[in-house]
Amino acid sequence: AQRVTQPEKLLSVFKGAPVELKCNYSYSGSPELFWYVQYSRQRLQLLLRHISRESIKGFTADLNKGETSFHLKKPFAQEEDSAMYYCALYSGNTPLVFGKGTRLSVIA
């Protein structure tokens, strides 16, 4: 069975500090991993996907198949990064499986 684990419900960091939101997955095949974000009073939206290998809003995420992880990182947190972040796994034949989410709070 596919599973996505986000171990932190809440992560608080100071503005300018590095951020790492953890995501681990379990899946026997080759998954596609995604990060979705929901800012206050906005709809949930795609932030980035691992196969794009791009940086969005300063965030990056690298798929580590050995550790089955897809952690989201940003070197310097900004107040506008405060949001709910969901890691999600796509196996190719079933809909996305989401983690339980991590709320990031960036303190000024």
Partner 1 sequence: DVKVTQSSRYLVKRTGEKVFLECVQDMDHENMFWYRQDPGLGLRLIYFSYDVKMKEKGDIPEGYSVSREKKERFSLILESASTNQTSMYLCASSLRHMGELFFGEGSRLTVL
Question: Which segment (12-20, 54-62, 73-81, 99-107) binds partner 1 by CB under 8 A?
Answer: 99-107
CB nearer partner 1, residue 17 or residue 46:
46
- How is the chain classified by DSSP, letter by letter? --EEE---SEEEEETTS-EEE--EEE-SS--EEEEEEE-TTS--EEEEEGGG---BTTBEE--BTTTTB--EEESS--GGG-EEEEEEEE-SSS--EE---EEEEEE-
**Site track 49-88 with partner 1 (rule: CB under 8 A), x = hit:** x------------------------------------x-x
Asked if residue 44 binds partner 1 (CB under 8 A), the reply is: yes
Q: Catalog residues that contact partner 1 under the rule CB under 8 A.
A: 6, 9, 32, 34, 36, 43-46, 49, 86, 88, 90, 94-96, 98-101
